[in-house]
């Protein structure tokens, strides 16, 4: 039968079109559910990857919190130490323990402010930590960081030693040599007296106010900051020795001459007395070192140079003190001016430049004989 061959209904009935439509709808719905299921799985997979990635970043950044390894500042309370690597940190003048803690945490030296503050409070010497730049390890135990800050060997600085008796130009050259600050920058700072703390009593002249001492100069220091240390130290010396403020410049001028005229500390008090005796008698000081300063030389002046009235620093032609200091005097020379030895001396001469032996007298004849001793020494030593 033809209907059998082509799948017709054996009962001769035609297919129900409504049933066929419902079947196709169910199939389409099943396909949509599968597509939605696949999309959901894909979204979940992407979200899972993102979560795992974020977790990886957190673990990397905060790994030290879980396993004691490297950590960002503040992720651990305290490191076990001893630390590793190297970093420099700066303790600023006036920093409290809490401010030091914040600096060290930020630099990665200590794990937390809490740990540092606890160690700071436990160490009685902590309060004596000095301002400066320090070389420290990373991830130190807080108590070890305190010890390191108290150790002078941890300080990162240039040691600049200014000997007594140098003049302004020599002092600036020495500072530049040790700190690599150009001389022109130092000269520019001097041209602005307020920037270096030069008091009004100096009259704008820095000569004599750059106190000779050894200074710690921090990396990155400016010309003004270095020179400010030196003028501040001069002011401190004058105050400590009870020098009246209106006498600061005068005392420094006298002390600068003492510094250049005497080699031995005990002789400085005698030179100071000799200067006072001459001034009190209205005599010219007749000191070679003042003339040499006015000439800008370090050698002994000639008689003609000593007697040149055009040189304001010639104490052979001008009565009284020179216009200002001729060098940077040390503490002993300042003290000598304030407490000169008792004696009648108005003459002195160093008869042995090697040993510094200096002879004092109030007699012109003895002075001439002493000068001859110096000449004899020079002749014997090829001078």
**Digits of tens for pLDDT over the chain (383 positions)?**
333 333 444 444 444 555 555 555 565 566 666 666 666 555 555 555 465 555 544 444 444 433 333 344 445 789 998 999 999 898 888 899 999 999 999 999 999 999 999 999 999 999 999 888 899 999 999 999 999 999 988 888 788 999 999 999 999 999 999 888 999 999 999 999 999 999 999 999 999 999 999 998 888 889 999 999 999 999 999 999 999 999 999 999 999 999 999 999 999 999 999 999 999 999 999 999 999 999 999 899 999 999 999 999 999 999 999 999 999 999 999 999 999 999 999 999 999 999 999 999 999 999 999 999 999 999 999 88
In this structure, is residue 44 part of a structural domain? Answer: no
In this structure, is residue 62 part of a structural domain? Answer: no
Question: What does the pLDDT read at residue 63?
Answer: 41
In this structure, is residue 47 part of a structural domain? Answer: no
The Cα–Cα gap between 164 and 171 comes to 10
The Cα–Cα gap between 72 and 108 comes to 7
Same domain, 253 and 371: yes
Question: What does the pLDDT read at residue 76?
Answer: 79
Q: Is 360 helix (H, G, I), strand (E, B) or coil?
A: strand
Angle at 279 between CA 275 and CA 280, to 5 degrees: 115
Same domain, 224 and 251: no
Same domain, 304 and 348: yes
Placement of tokens 């001729």 in the chain: 326
In this structure, is residue 30 part of a structural domain? Answer: no
Question: What does the pLDDT read at residue 29?
Answer: 64
In this structure, is residue 5 part of a structural domain? Answer: no
Same domain, 258 and 372: yes
Same domain, 265 and 213: no
Same domain, 283 and 312: yes
Nearest CA to 251 out of 196, 194, 331 is that of 331
Same domain, 214 and 272: no
Same domain, 264 and 355: yes
The last residue of one of the domains, among 219, 240, 261, is 240
Same domain, 292 and 272: yes
The last residue of one of the domains, among 240, 268, 285, is 240
pTM of the model: 0.67
Angle at 69 between CA 68 and CA 72, to 5 degrees: 100
Q: Looking at the DSSP assignment, which residues form a beta bridge with residue 48? A: none
The Cα–Cα gap between 310 and 312 comes to 6
Question: What does the pLDDT read at residue 81?
Answer: 84
Question: How many domains does the structure of the chain reveal?
Answer: 3
Question: What does the pLDDT read at residue 11?
Answer: 43
Contact 357, 351 (CB under 8 A): yes
Placement of tokens 């700071």 in the chain: 120
Contact 137, 200 (CB under 8 A): no
The Cα–Cα gap between 47 and 45 comes to 5
Same domain, 88 and 176: no
In this structure, is residue 68 part of a structural domain? Answer: no
Helix (H) or strand (E) holding 211: none
Note down the domain range covering 150: 74-115+129-156
Contact 358, 272 (CB under 8 A): no
Same domain, 192 and 108: no
Helix (H) or strand (E) holding 104: helix 97-107
In this structure, is residue 60 part of a structural domain? Answer: no
- The CATH number assigned to the domain holding 89 equals 3.30.1490.480
In this structure, is residue 41 part of a structural domain? Answer: no
Same domain, 345 and 288: yes
Question: What does the pLDDT read at residue 322?
Answer: 97
Question: What does the pLDDT read at residue 56?
Answer: 46
């Amino acid at each position: 039968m033809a209907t059998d061959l082509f799948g017709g209904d054996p009962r001769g009935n035609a297919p129900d079109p409504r049933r066929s439509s419902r079947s196709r709808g169910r199939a389409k719905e099943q396909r949509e559910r599968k597509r939605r299921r696949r999309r959901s799985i894909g979204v979940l997979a992407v979200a899972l990857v993102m979560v795992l990635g974020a977790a990886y970043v957190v673990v990397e950044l905060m790994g030290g919190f879980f396993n004691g390894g490297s950590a960002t500042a503040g992720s651990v309370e305290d490191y076990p130490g001893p630390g590793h690597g190297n970093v420099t940190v700066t303790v600023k003048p006036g920093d409290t323990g809490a401010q030091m803690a914040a600096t060290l945490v930020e630099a990665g030296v200590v794990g937390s402010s809490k740990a540092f503050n606890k160690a700071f409070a436990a160490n009685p010497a902590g309060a004596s930590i000095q301002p400066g730049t320090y070389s420290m390890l990373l991830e130190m135990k807080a108590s070890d960081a305190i010890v390191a800050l108290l150790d002078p060997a941890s300080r990162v600085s240039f040691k600049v030693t200014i000997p007594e008796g140098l003049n302004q130009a020599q002092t600036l050259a020495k500072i530049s040599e040790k700190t690599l600050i150009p001389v022109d920058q130092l000269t520019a700072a001097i041209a602005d007296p307020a920037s270096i703390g030069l008091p009004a009593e100096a009259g704008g002249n820095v000569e004599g106010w750059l106190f000779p001492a050894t200074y710690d100069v921090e990396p990155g220091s400016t010309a003004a900051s270095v020179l400010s240390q030196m003028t501040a130290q001069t002011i401190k010396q004058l105050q400590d020795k009870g020098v009246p403020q209106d006498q600061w410049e005068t005392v420094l001028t006298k002390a600068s001459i003492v510094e250049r005229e005497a080699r031995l500390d005990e002789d400085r008090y005698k030179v100071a007395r000799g200067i006072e005796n001459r001034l009190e008698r209205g005599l010219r000081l007749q000191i070679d070192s003042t003339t040499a300063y006015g000439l800008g030389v370090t050698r002994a002046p000639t008689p003609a140079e000593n007697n040149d009235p055009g040189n304001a620093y010639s104490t052979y032609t001008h009565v009284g003190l020179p216009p200002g200091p001729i060098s940077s005097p040390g503490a002993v020379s300042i003290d000598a001016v304030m407490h000169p030895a008792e004696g009648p001396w108005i003459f002195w001469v160093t008869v042995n430049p090697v040993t510094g032996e200096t002879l004092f007298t109030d007699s012109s004849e003895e002075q001439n004989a002493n000068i001859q001793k110096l000449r004899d020494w020079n002749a014997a030593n090829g001078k």
